[in-house]
Copies of this chain bind each other. A is one copy, B any other.
Amino acid sequence: MEAPARQNGAVGLSQAHVVTISDGAYQGQREDKSGPVLVTLLVGAGFEVSGPEVVPDEMERIFEAVTTAVARGVDLVVATGGTGLGPRDVTPQAMSTIFDYEVPGIGEAMRRAGADTTPMAALSRSMAGVREQTLIISVPGSPKGASESLEAVMLIVGHAIQLLHGDTSHS
């Protein structure tokens, strides 16, 4: 995927920030494998990438990490983890306080892609939405779930970023 042109005419790549949401990785009890996988995917797709920033499974910390990146003006935030059904899985609840609005088709597309591999993909609460002019995508915490979900929608991410910067000619 070609990096989309910046609306402001600045020369340069689109910027992405990766957030890993995991109590275990935050406390150093387990290695963050998914964050680095997402960074590699995004660099390969032409993004300038910061992170992975590791935060625990707490709504306030998730909110702070994502909104700080949005305030910095990044085009895309990808968050991995906390989309399951466990008692500490609060990422979707946090996202609903972060998003100005959801883009439901992206979550649907990620789950549909996952369903080709495993019917358990229906249990993922992966989702995407917009805050200000930043697209935010929440994917599962496993390296496989994270990479498959992002790859499933990578082709449309560049287009979404262009729309967010004001090209509404086809909306």
Chain A residues with CB under 8 Å of chain B are 81-89, 92-93, 101, 103-109, 111, 115, 119-125, 127, 130, 133, 135, 140-142, 145, 153, 155-156, 159-160, 163-164, 166-168, 170-171
Whether A87 pairs with B133 at a CB distance below 8 angstroms is yes
Q: A84-B170, A87-B133, A170-B142 are in contact. Are A160 and B123 (CB under 8 A)?
A: yes
CB contact under 8 A between A168 and B123, given known A101-B93, A108-B108? no
Q: Could you tell me the distance between the alpha carbons of A105 and B83 in the complex, rounded to whole angstroms?
A: 12
Shortest CB distance A169–B (Å): 9
CA distance A141 to B63 in the complex (A): 33
Report A13 CB to chain B, min CB distance, Å: 20
B119, A171: Cβ atoms under 8 Å? Answer: no
In order of increasing CB-CB distance, the 10 nearest A-B pairs are: A84-B171, A86-B168, A105-B122, A85-B163, A109-B122, A105-B111, A85-B164, A142-B170, A119-B156, A84-B163
Given A82-B171, A119-B156, A171-B140, also A105-B124 (CB < 8 A): yes
- Return 18 A-B CB contacts under 8 Å, by A number: A83-B171, A84-B163, A85-B130, A85-B135, A85-B163, A86-B164, A86-B171, A88-B168, A92-B101, A93-B101, A103-B122, A104-B107, A105-B111, A105-B121, A105-B122, A105-B123, A109-B119, A142-B171
